[in-house]
């Protein structure tokens, strides 16, 4: 049966309210991280849909705040951590930074190319032709030594 579990970890006056689809897995993951926090199941919602479980999580966070607990959640529930960048945002920022660096440092890119660390397809082809020509010239000279 599909269900979402709203749970709380409490210790002294601190509480963290969260949701999970697999309470046993969630509980075992938090054992090492939270130490001796007490685990409580607050609600069982028969759905995985965010619009179904989010109001419950938000309500429990609000209830614990009203009871005077120090709520450890970074937001009011249901949104995940705020202020953290997704992987896609990180990739976009990295790409943009790389483009800007390449535009501002063209001489560094040329220097990189001169060292043969990075070659374009055309440059590799030219390099191979030049190498093969030199190889066959050396081979011909070694086969017919003039003494």
Show me where the domains of the chain are located: 4-71, 117-147
pLDDT at 146 (0 to 100): 62
**Mean pLDDT (10-residue bins), the chain, 147 residues:** 83 87 70 69 81 86 92 76 69 85 69 57 76 79 69
Question: Residue 58 in contact with residue 9, Cβ under 8 Å?
Answer: no
Q: What is the pTM of this model?
A: 0.50
Residues with Cβ within 8 Å of residue 102, at least 6 apart in sequence: 109
pLDDT at 66 (0 to 100): 93
Structure tokens given for 11: 């210790």
pLDDT at 114 (0 to 100): 56
At which residue do the structure tokens 């070659």 appear?
119
């Amino acid at each position: 049966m599909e269900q979402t579990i709203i749970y709380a970890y409490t210790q002294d006056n601190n509480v963290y309210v969260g949701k999970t689809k697999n309470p046993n897995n969630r509980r075992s993951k938090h054992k090492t991280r939270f130490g001796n926090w007490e685990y409580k199941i607050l609600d069982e919602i028969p759905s995985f849909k965010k619009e179904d479980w989010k109001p419950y999580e938000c309500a429990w966070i609000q209830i614990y705040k009203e009871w005077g607990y120090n709520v450890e959640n970074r937001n009011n529930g249901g949104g995940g951590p705020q202020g953290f960048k997704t992987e896609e945002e990180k990739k976009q920022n990295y790409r943009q930074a790389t483009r800007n660096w390449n535009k501002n440092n063209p001489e560094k890119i040329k220097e990189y190319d001169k060292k043969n660390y990075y070659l374009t397809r055309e440059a590799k082809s030219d390099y191979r032709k030049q190498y093969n020509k030199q190889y066959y010239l050396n081979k011909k000279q070694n086969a017919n030594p003039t003494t």
